[in-house]
Amino acid sequence: LCLQWVTQNADAHGQAKKNGPLLWCVIFAFIGFLYALIRLVTIEYTSSILVSAGVFKTTTYDDWVRKPLAPLIKIAFDTLLWLRGGHSPNSYTYKVYEDMTLQFIVWLGTLCLFFLLLWIFTNMCKACQRCLIFPNEMKWWGRLVISFDNLTYWVWFWISFFWIGFNVYLAVQPSSFHFNNIGMMSFMLAATFLNYALIISNSLRFSIMESIDANEIAFLSMDNIWRANQLFFMVGPIQGFSVFTGTKNFLSYLLYGQDIGGWAGGDLTQVSIAIVKYWTSMVIMASIACWIYLFASNPTPTEYQSRRPGCIIFTFIAMDVLHPCVYLWTVSNKFTAEDAKKMTFSQKICCVAWWKSCLATAILNEQTTNVFRYVAPAYNFMLPLLVFYNATFGVSGGFTLVAVGAGH
């Protein structure tokens, strides 16, 4: 669908056809945001991009922004210095802290300014809405952003692969990082809060809609958070397969005019189940292999402290996908207790169906499921606290939380 829209081959009618070109405005705005974000982390500057573009003079910017903010930044620096008990060997100087803080405030203020200009221009379009096809309400932009997300969410299918691979790298390769523990803990708590707020709000909204239709009370349980974590680490391979298949089918349609209205690659359900089965199995086996390699490689105490957090976090990821993995491998097993009574112990040991039955009994029960249901939210809140125990948790855990949030 995304490729059809980009190449103007989508079969759109009415308002959807009018909104098609407007999606490019959202795309260019998103590209501009990415450019601003990359500029923030790669270029050292203390003035706005508006000053670089000549919209404001440097003296005007210093009088309106830099001079009023300098005392506030100094107060914040002194407060943090007092909380830390003075300077440490890795402390920043005030000049570095001032430039870094001012750079972020300017970046955030510039984004707010652009958003304000968009709001003003959008409301001005109400005066000429009959002759101009352009959003005249902010909710119109909201619908365009949702359409943009629906068309491009597949672009981020690689995130789950990357962060699983990143934790594997930290588990097998000693690494060193330099950051402030308090700052990283605050960042991780904020990421966890925003992540769970997104999950809970979406789940509660869906529950309220269902309760209205069924005349029932809205209900929200820990399953929503648990399933959301499972979904992020499970759907990556399926989305990758969909991207490959969709691109191939679109090229067949574009170059040869083939009908791509149906699926001709076999039972799609079985293909998806097979992909998830082998992917989750690989994640679980890889987590076990990381622990074996950690102890078998005879690391030094420093290397052990550096690599262990990666193993722990990767183990929690494997625990998230363990339940669906076992279910998919054992759902078709017809082995019963009566069959087991007819077999000798040696026959059971050699019987795959008996092993599947034992595995399902051990994992797919109410007690074990309740443990898994609460482990996922618990370890996300434990990660910020573990930063004080081992700083490596801050890197692997913090960015994993961001990745999971993006996937959600």
pLDDT tens for each residue of 232-283: 788 888 888 888 877 777 777 777 766 665 555 556 778 888 888 999 999 9
Q: Is 281 exposed, middle or buried (0-12, 13-18, 19+ CB in 10 A)?
A: middle
Identity at 151, one-letter amino acid code: L
Q: What is the 3-class SS of 184-195, one letter each residue?
A: HHHHHHHHHHHH
pLDDT of 219 higher than 70: no
The pair of structure tokens assigned to 15 is: 């308002």
What pLDDT score was predicted for residue 285? 93
pLDDT band at 286 (very low <50, low <70, confident <90, very high): very high
Most confident stretch, 331-335, 384-388, 392-396: 331-335
Element (H, E) at 134: none
- DSSP per position, 164-219: HHHHHHHHHS-------HHHHHHHHHHHHHHHHHHHHHHHHHHHHHHHHHHT----
pLDDT of 47 higher than 70: no
Mean pLDDT of the chain: 75
> What are residue 134's phi and psi, to 5 degrees?
-150, 145
Helix, strand, coil % over all residues of the chain, rounded to 5: 80, 0, 20
Looking at residue 10, the DSSP 8-state letter turns out to be -
Identity at 148, one-letter amino acid code: F
What pLDDT score was predicted for residue 407? 42
CA dist list (Å): 116 to 3, 37, 112: 32, 19, 6
What pLDDT score was predicted for residue 282? 92
What pLDDT score was predicted for residue 8? 59
The pair of structure tokens assigned to 158 is: 């690689």
What pLDDT score was predicted for residue 86? 66
pLDDT band at 355 (very low <50, low <70, confident <90, very high): confident
pLDDT band at 288 (very low <50, low <70, confident <90, very high): very high
